[in-house]
Amino acid sequence: MNSATKGRLIGLVGLASVALWLTLSLGSDFYLCLTSLRWLTVPVRITSSDVSTGVSNMGRWWQPELTYEYQVGGQSYRSSNIRYLMPPFYHAEGARQIQTAYPKGAQVQAAIDPQKPSRSVLEPGIPEGMWWRGLIPLFFWALTGYIFYEIRNPHRRFLLLRDPETAGQE
């Protein structure tokens, strides 16, 4: 095994690790989004409603911050989950829309996990426009598969060779 192949193997392991991490982290969020559609709904009371802001390397962002309380089986719970896979807001209007939909003191419905009542969400399901995030792990798995194929078939490395005439001579 030459040094170029060893380098590709190290890169393959790193890329597969990133693909696995993305699959698990985004997969758990998508799982919660989809299962929340089947959860029980209970009345909740909004106890606080605000919008926070900050600055990141992407620019200024806004985030709705809500807290709500509810009871299940005589037990009181408090949560701040609005929706799973909540995208960042880079315009104040988006965060303010959510805040005004849930003003302090309002009585609304939330979906609760019947197996774990402390887990709840105000807006169950996958938020509009977030399906594309499911493609991100697929892209990394496809890239991992391509690199694996390229390692296993060195005679097919047309794109990596400087001289295409020597492609079949490795």
The answer to whether residue 163 sits within a structural domain is: no
Residue 115 lies in a domain: yes
pLDDT tens digit at each of 170 positions of the chain = 677 777 778 888 998 999 999 888 888 888 888 999 999 999 999 999 999 999 988 889 999 999 999 999 999 999 999 998 887 788 899 899 999 999 999 999 999 999 999 999 999 998 777 777 778 889 999 989 988 888 887 766 655 555 555 555 55
| Domain enclosing residue 4, as ranges | 1-30+138-154
Does residue 90 share a domain with residue 63?
Answer: yes
| One domain for residues 42 and 120 | yes
Domain co-membership, 68 together with 18: no
When divided into structural domains, the chain yields a total of 2
pLDDT of residue 39: 96
User: Tokens in use for 125?
Assistant: 């399901």
* Coil vs helix vs strand at 112: strand
Contact (Cβ atoms closer than 8 angstroms) between residue 70 and residue 120:
yes
Q: Do 64 and 44 sit in the same domain of this protein?
A: yes
Within a domain: 105: yes
Query: What is the Cα–Cα distance from 23 to 39, expressed in whole angstroms?
Result: 24
Do 44 and 82 reside in the same domain of the chain? Answer: yes
Q: Dihedral of CA 29/31/37/39: which sign?
A: negative
Q: Which pLDDT score is estimated for 163? A: 53
Q: What's the confidence (pLDDT) of residue 89?
A: 87
Do 88 and 149 lie in one domain? The reply is: no
40-56 and 75-79 beta bridge pairing = unpaired
Q: What is the pLDDT of residue 8?
A: 78
Residue 168 domain flag: no
pLDDT at 159: 55
Query: 48 pairs with which residues across the strands?
Result: 67
Clarify whether residues 49 and 77 are in a common domain. yes
